[in-house]
């Protein structure tokens, strides 16, 4: 079964209570669901409307949704108590330095920053052997991750919502673990990727459907996460190599199998 990266992003609105409510509803102690936040500290942002949320200024949105360190420390402690791995997408080396104190269980290089070498070096130095996911949404093919540094390529189309025709699961996949950052509105790309052997499926989540924000068109309510994880598991099991052979052996043992007559 692929690991589900449940990205809250900034859909907590800078409110610890909202983020805590999401955290309390995420499936616990299974190891199959990881929670991801964003940190924009130190990111240079041009003034103007957010491209996915034109009603707000982009810089103002990042400032408004920036949780205080004390709040983040409590959220991390809560996640660890529930045995839910927690990680960050960082958008600057300064952001990496800020969140490194909480020793994230994993890191994500966002698609718009794959060519920012200073950021990637900072994440590699801070990761200490923990997984680093690298999104290729704006960075070309899936050769953006480095096997030497343990990075994991994430197929991504930076469109919200993403047309299934634009997902691109037909591209050659890496030999090692890979994943998908699914921006379709219904999560169909993640299900298809699980059939193809994806180790990670990332989807945006929110507290409830219809909540405002730049990710609202692709975010699934946290109440549906467990059902989606079960669907990923069932889809992945459809390609278990020995699955059908095992069934045929049991059918033959039960006298059910018939010889094929052309």
Within 13 Å, how many C-alpha atoms sit on residue 246's CB side? 6
Return the pLDDT at 138.
62
**Which tens digits make up the pLDDT trace of 113-136?**
888 889 999 999 999 999 999 988
Return the pLDDT at 200.
96
Between 100 and 252, residue with greater pLDDT = 100
**pLDDT greater than 90 at residue 15:** yes
CA dihedral (42, 215, 103, 64) positive or negative:
positive
Distance CA 120, CA 29 (A): 30
CA nearest 113: which of 39, 168, 216, 208?
39
Domains in the chain: boundaries:
3-253
Residue 258's pLDDT band (cuts 50, 70, 90):
low
DSSP-assigned letter for residue 39: E
Q: What is the mean pLDDT of residues 153-161?
A: 88
Between 150 and 44, residue with greater pLDDT = 44
Tokens 């960082």, located at residue: 90
Task: Report how far Cα 101 is from the mean position of its chain's Cα atoms.
Answer: 22
For 44, 76, 213, the CA distances from 208, given in Å and listed in that order, are 31, 22, 12
| Cis geometry, peptide bond prior to residue 19 (ω within 30 degrees of 0) | no
Q: What is the mean pLDDT of residues 232-255?
A: 80
Question: Which two tokens mark 206?
Answer: 């929110």
Classify domain 3-253 at the CATH topology level: TIM Barrel (3.20.20)
Whether residue 176 contacts residue 146, with contact meaning beta carbons closer than 8 Å, is answered with no
| Phi, psi (degrees; rounded to nearest 5) at 107 | -130, 155
**Which tens digits make up the pLDDT trace of 61-77?**
999 999 999 999 999 99
Between 260 and 80, residue with greater pLDDT = 80
């Amino acid at each position: 079964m692929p690991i589900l990266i449940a990205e809250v992003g900034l859909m907590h609105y800078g409110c610890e209570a909202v983020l805590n409510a999401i955290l309390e509803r995420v499936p616990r102690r299974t190891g199959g669901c990881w929670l991801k936040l964003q940190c924009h500290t130190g990111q240079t942002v041009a003034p103007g409307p957010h491209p996915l949320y034109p009603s707000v200024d982009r810089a103002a949105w990042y400032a408004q949704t920036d949780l205080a360190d004390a709040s983040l420390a409590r959220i991390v402690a809560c996640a660890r108590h529930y045995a839910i791995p927690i990680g960050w997408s960082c958008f600057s080396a300064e952001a990496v330095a800020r969140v490194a104190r909480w020793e994230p269980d994993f890191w994500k290089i966002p698609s718009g920053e794959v060519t920012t070498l200073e950021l990637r070096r900072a994440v590699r130095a801070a990761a200490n052997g923990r997984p680093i996911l690298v999104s290729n949404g704006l960075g070309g093919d899936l050769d953006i991750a480095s096997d030497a540094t343990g990075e994991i390529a994430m197929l991504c189309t930076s469109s919200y919502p993403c047309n299934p025709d634009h997902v691109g699961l037909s591209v050659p996949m890496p030999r090692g673990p890979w994943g998908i950052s699914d921006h379709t509105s219904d999560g169909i790309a993640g299900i298809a990727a699980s059939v193809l052997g994806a180790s990670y499926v990332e989807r945006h989540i929110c507290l409830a459907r219809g909540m405002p924000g730049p990710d609202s068109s692709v975010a699934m309510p946290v109440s549906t996460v467990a059902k989606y994880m079960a669907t990923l598991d069932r889809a992945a099991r459809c390609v278990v190599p020995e699955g059908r052979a095992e069934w045929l052996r049991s059918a033959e043992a039960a006298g059910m199998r018939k010889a094929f007559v052309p």
